[in-house]
A and B are shown apart, each in its own frame.
Chain A
């Protein structure tokens, strides 16, 4: 190797170090998001039929999402703490006239009934998904999650995590856009 080549190589560790420094710094400044977005946006709701998830509520199948009106599909569970935190916002959306149906993940009807009497009941139909199969078919990676589905059964919007008060306008806009 020429002397010039060797001299250039001497800088390589420092350059490598700087590259790593930038990598770590960017990771610290902007922590990576652990949200896994569903790839079902723009695709039709998968066919499913779930038994009733709470007494007094209709069972849920995909047919209800093809009836011409945009709806929210809320993925929740009575054992999920953030699901209780988003309850007031769901009630607010229901009051604004948005029909909300739900899938209760790995839950028992009596537990769901207790959850609803405690935190309020914004739901139309509730389906019971005891083995998360419909949740997985929707590309949902956790609870709570909410999907906006248009009147033709096309998934238009996904909200990952609990719906906070500041998220409500964006969801209402997504519902309006789905009309």
Chain B
């Protein structure tokens, strides 16, 4: 009896999501009619970070704010804005943090230099070991 009551309580419990009662924005989950624009928007959305989930792109996230950001991206693309300009518009509001496509600058150069350095280190190690085998 007690167990059944507990199960019933669990079934009827609603998790305290901080979500609004409004439906998602008009273009949050609706593709643009023009496939080329939609492809452009999708490509951009996959490289923009969701602000409330922080580990997902806005294309992947179910958060309401991510939906609102997708709608914003689609509205701007449909209005003819360039993806680069939309990214810059968001970076001007949230910082480089919002973009998954880090620009090359004073802070991010190690990120870009690392592959080159690692390949160079690999070449040096490979050369060393081949030379040893020959000798």
Give me the interface of A with B, judged by CB distance under 8 Å. 1, 34, 36-40, 77, 79-81, 105-108, 111, 130-133, 135-139, 141-143
Report how far A167 CA is from B68 CA in the complex, Å: 30
Give me the interface of B with A, judged by CB distance under 8 Å. 16, 18-22, 25-26, 51-52, 54, 64-65, 68-69, 71-72, 90-95, 97-98, 128, 132
Q: Which residues of the other chain, B, contact A34 by a CB distance below 8 angstroms?
A: 54
From residue A89, how far is it (CB to closest CB) to chain B in Å? 19
| Contact call A111/B72, Cβ cutoff below 8 A | no
Q: Which residues of the other chain, A, contact B132 by a CB distance below 8 angstroms?
A: 1
Report how far A13 CA is from B90 CA in the complex, Å: 41
| Contact call A36/B94, Cβ cutoff below 8 A | yes
| Contact call A142/B52, Cβ cutoff below 8 A | yes
| Contact call A39/B20, Cβ cutoff below 8 A | no
Q: Which residues of the other chain, B, contact A131 by a CB distance below 8 angstroms?
A: 25-26, 68, 71-72
Report how far A133 CA is from B73 CA in the complex, Å: 11
Question: Which 7 A-B pairs have CB atoms at the shortest separation, nearest pair first?
Answer: A139-B93, A106-B20, A132-B68, A131-B25, A141-B51, A106-B22, A79-B20
From residue B75, how far is it (CB to closest CB) to chain A in Å? 8
Report how far A142 CA is from B53 CA in the complex, Å: 11
Report how far A137 CA is from B22 CA in the complex, Å: 20
Q: Could you jot down 16 A-B contacts, CB within 8 Å?
A: A36-B51, A36-B95, A37-B95, A39-B91, A77-B20, A79-B21, A107-B20, A108-B22, A131-B26, A131-B72, A132-B69, A133-B68, A136-B90, A139-B92, A141-B65, A142-B65
